[in-house]
Amino acid sequence: MHSEAGAPCVLRPGIDGDLAVTDARGRARRWRRLANGDVQVELGCGEDAFVFPKGDRPDFGVRPVAPGGASVPWGLP
């Protein structure tokens, strides 16, 4: 997630088990789990956070992906 406001962000990640919350360089971010199970992440203006299952090593590289099947064309002809 990316903060444009610089305020704590509350999200419901839908990830079971323990979580890891890091910045883009893999450094731990300040966060806490709320009583209802939501996660509150402390973010300053312009900061990013990545939330994923603890112990995973996600690949955050951006690259094209293969299509998952046929799709309807869009845009101008």
pLDDT in tens, the chain (77 residues): 999 988 899 999 899 899 999 998 889 999 999 999 999 999 999 999 999 999 998 887 889 988 888 888 888 76
Q: CA of 51: how far to CAs of 20, 39, 45, 76, in Å? A: 6, 9, 18, 37
pTM of the model: 0.72
Neighbour count for residue 49 (Cβ, 10 Å): 20
Q: What gap in Å lies between CA 41 and CA 56, rounded to an integer?
A: 19
Give the pLDDT confidence score for residue 21 in this predicted structure: 95
Report the pLDDT value the prediction gives residue 77, as an integer from 0 to 100: 66
